[in-house]
Chain A
Amino acid sequence: GAVVSQHPSRVICKSGTSVKIECRSLDFQATTMFWYRQFPKQSLMLMATSNEGSKATYEQGVEKDKFLINHASLTLSTLTVTSAHPEDSSFYICSASPSSQGPRSYNSPLHFGNGTRLTVT
């Protein structure tokens, strides 16, 4: 089945530094990937839609200059948390679908990475 890989799985950084999280589709290409954030005991919240070769689309309330998204290839999207603060500590999860180039086929649901737990000290 479709596999989405995230790296790192866990990262601790100091306040004010930047952290890059990678999301790869291992056995399929995806023109679109999605980035979610999940705070403890809460549901997943969509942050942005990453589009290969063009600018990401951010959800309302998500600062595009703070959460930089680069989707340089059909199998890789990166999320960089810039000037991280303790309130950015969260579980970041990416997702993609093998049919992200257009209408999703019936048998190609979104698949999710295993998440990156970011702790900012």
Chain B
Amino acid sequence: DAKTTQPPSMDCAEGRAANLPCNHSTISGNEYVYWYRQIHSQGPQYIIHGLKNNETNEMASLIITEDRKSSTLILPHATLRDTAVYYCIVESNFGNEKLTFGTGTRLTIIP
């Protein structure tokens, strides 16, 4: 079962920051937070992941609350190509490596 809760859909204006929330209140100490996105008819694309600290890469920033029960993915300047379903996944980094996908958030970037 998915261990995360995400809003089913969100809209964001092109050029603005898209902030996608995720609740993972039952996360355990050895579980990471992973974000993937899936553009229509393609395989999921890895975006970013983190354990405790905030992370940033060329695609996005990940903000994890101090208690680790929630996180926010930030796309700083959304473009139309960022329209996709975004999945927040928590998973241990040891042993079993499979990822369990929830229903994700369908992000639509509005021109």
Residues of chain A whose beta carbon lies under 8 Å from any beta carbon of chain B: 4, 6, 32, 34, 36, 43-46, 49, 91, 93, 95, 97, 100, 103-104, 106, 109-115, 117
Q: A44-B38, A109-B46 are in contact. List 19 more A-B contacts (CB 8 A).
A: A4-B43, A34-B98, A34-B99, A43-B103, A44-B44, A45-B101, A46-B99, A46-B100, A91-B41, A95-B43, A95-B99, A103-B93, A104-B93, A104-B94, A109-B34, A109-B49, A112-B36, A115-B41, A115-B42
Q: A43 to B95, Cβ gap below 8 A? A: no
In the docked arrangement, what's the CA distance between A114 and B38, Å?
10
Specify the chain B residue showing the minimal Cβ separation from A99. B97
B54 interface residue, CB < 8 Å from A? no
For the complex formed, measure the closest distance between the CB of A49 and the CB atoms of chain B, giving whole angstroms: 6
Question: Could you count the A-B residue pairs with CB atoms below 8 Å apart for me: how many are there?
Answer: 54
In the docked arrangement, what's the CA distance between A20 and B101, Å?
25
Partner of B97, one of A6, A43, A93, A104: A104
Partner of B98, one of A6, A49, A93, A113: A49
Chain A residues closer than 8 Å to B49, beta-carbon distance = 109
B21 interface residue, CB < 8 Å from A? no
Query: Among A6, A44, A45, A100, which residue has the most Cβ atoms of chain B within 10 A?
Result: A44
In the docked arrangement, what's the CA distance between A60 and B87, Å?
23
B65 interface residue, CB < 8 Å from A? no
Q: A110 to B99, Cβ gap below 8 A? A: yes
Q: A111 to B93, Cβ gap below 8 A? A: no
In the docked arrangement, what's the CA distance between A120 and B17, Å?
42
Chain B residues closer than 8 Å to A113, beta-carbon distance = 43
For the complex formed, measure the closest distance between the CB of A89 and the CB atoms of chain B, giving whole angstroms: 14
Specify the chain B residue showing the minimal Cβ separation from A1. B46
In the docked arrangement, what's the CA distance between A117 and B101, Å?
19
